[in-house]
Structure 1
Amino acid sequence: MTVYHIVLFKLKKGTPESTISQLKEAATAMVGQVPGLQKIDLGPPIPATAARAKGFDYGLIAILDKAEDLKGYAEHPAHLKYALQY
């Protein structure tokens, strides 16, 4: 069964756009590296819903083949390299 892993996060104050671009590149590059990871996408709230974002700057959706793949994704070096930096 396909799993949708959804994460909302807040960037550190003053995070430059270049850093956000690097994060996006690193995230999308995990597809093909992390077993079971089909797709990953992230971005800011759209203006129409930004007022309901409750201070979150970005959302991430990782689509995985099955629930068991989530553990491998969470522990994979490509994920750990960026997971706690932002």
Structure 2
Amino acid sequence: MVKHIILWTLKETDADKKAEILANMKEHLEGLAGKVPGLLEVHVRTNPLASSNAEVMLDTTLENEEMLKGYQKHPAHVEVANTYVRPYTDVRMCMDYEV
């Protein structure tokens, strides 16, 4: 299995808009479960402690590295990323590893 972890910080916005952005990211990213082959688990965390320097974490588990490559190009993932993530994020960090 492969873990695919993403950390983001958001672009500056007011508190109400930020709450809406975070809710949409969580709903739509977690909604990819069952739509993308090989995607076994997907969890989005939007409640970091004050000691954190990221605002959102995507924690996914995929069957293998080949499925990760397919996930990254899958139309459902691309649509969610382009609509609910990329327009609102400033910094992105990624770590993929085998488990």
Q: Which runs of 5+ in 2 are unaligned?
A: 89-99
String of CA shifts for 1:4-24, please: whole Å, max 9, x gaps. 101111111114212211111
Indicate the larger mover: 36-45 or 20-29.
36-45
Q: Where does residue 73 of structure 1 map in the other structure?
A: 71
String of CA shifts for 1:14-65, please: whole Å, max 9, x gaps. 1421221111111111011100001111113542xx42x3x31111111101
Indicate the larger mover: 4-13 or 15-24.
15-24
- Provide the TM-score with structure 2 as the length reference: 0.72
Q: Where does residue 19 of structure 1 map in the other structure?
A: 21
* CA RMSD, 1 decimal: 1.6
Identity %: 33
Indicate the larger mover: 63-72 or 74-83.
74-83
Q: How many residues align?
A: 81
- Provide the TM-score with structure 1 as the length reference: 0.81
- 8 Å Cα contact 1:45/1:59 also seen in 2: no
Q: Which runs of 5+ in 1 are unaligned?
A: none
The amino acid across from 1:85 in the alignment is: P
Higher strand share: 2
